[in-house]
Structure 1
Amino acid sequence: MMALDAMNLSITEVDLNMDKGEHRTPEMVTMNPLQTLPIFKDRELVLYDSQAITTYLASRYNNCGRLLPLDPGGRAIVDQLLHFNSGILYPLYRSAAHPILYDNCNFVMPQQVCNIQCAYRDLECMLVGRTWLGGSWPTLGDISIAATISTLQILVPIDKLKYPRLSSWLYRMSEELFYITANKKGLGEFSRRIDSGCVCDEREFKCPRSSIGRRSGAVGGKNEDI
Structure 2
Amino acid sequence: MGLILYHFPPSGPSRGALLAAKAIGADVDVQIVNLFKKEQLKEDFVKINPQHTVPTLVDGDVSIWDSHAIGTYLATTYGKDETLYPKDPKQRALIDQRLYFDCGTLYPRIRAICFPVLFLGEDQIYDEHKAPLEEALGFLDVFLEGNEFVTGNKLTVADCSLVASTSSIAAIGWDLSPYSNVAAWVARCSLAIPGYAEFNQTGADEFGKLVRSKLAPGQL
TM-score (norm 1): 0.81
CA distance in 2, matches of 1:31, 1:59: 22
CA distance in 1, matches of 2:143, 2:37: 39
CA distance in 2, matches of 1:24, 1:145: 27
Q: Given the alignment of the two structures, is residue 120 of structure 1 paired with residue 141 of structure 2, yes or no?
A: no
CA distance in 2, matches of 1:60, 1:107: 43
| SS of 1:130 mapped into structure 2 | coil
Q: Is residue 57–residue 63 contact of structure 2 (8 Å, CA) maintained in 1?
A: yes
Q: Is residue 23–residue 35 contact of structure 1 (8 Å, CA) maintained in 2?
A: yes
Superposition deviation, residue 34 in structure 1: 2.0
RMSD, aligned CA: 1.7
Unpaired runs of 5+ in structure 2?
Answer: 1-17, 216-220
Q: Deviations over 1:1-45 (max 9, x none)?
A: 111111222222111111121101222222222221111111111
Paired AA for residue 19 in structure 2: M
Moved over 4 A (4+): none
1:151-166 pair list within 5 angstroms: 151-155=168-172, 157-160=174-177, 162-166=178-182
Q: Given the alignment of the two structures, is residue 7 of structure 1 paired with residue 6 of structure 2, yes or no?
A: no
1:130 to 140, 147, 154: 147
TM-score (norm 2): 0.83
Matching residue of 2:14 = none
Matching residue of 1:36 = 53
1:111 to 128, 134, 137: 128
Superposition deviation, residue 153 in structure 1: 2.4
CA distance in 1, matches of 2:213, 2:158: 31
Superposition deviation, residue 79 in structure 1: 0.7
Paired AA for residue 175 in structure 1: L
1:139 to 150, 156, 164: 156
Matching residue of 1:73 = 90
Matching residue of 1:204 = none
Once the two structures are overlaid, the 10-residue window that deviates more, 166-175 or 140-149, is 166-175
Unpaired runs of 5+ in structure 1?
Answer: 199-226
Matching residue of 1:167 = 183
CA distance in 2, matches of 1:53, 1:22: 21
Matching residue of 2:11 = none
**Residues 123/10 of structure 1: CA separation in 2 closer, same or farther (3 Å cut):** same
Q: Deviations over 1:116-138 (max 9, x none)?
A: 00001111111222121122111
Matching residue of 1:218 = none
Instruction: Using the aligned pairs only, state the percent identity.
Output: 29
Q: Is residue 16–residue 23 contact of structure 1 (8 Å, CA) maintained in 2?
A: yes
Superposition deviation, residue 180 in structure 1: 2.1
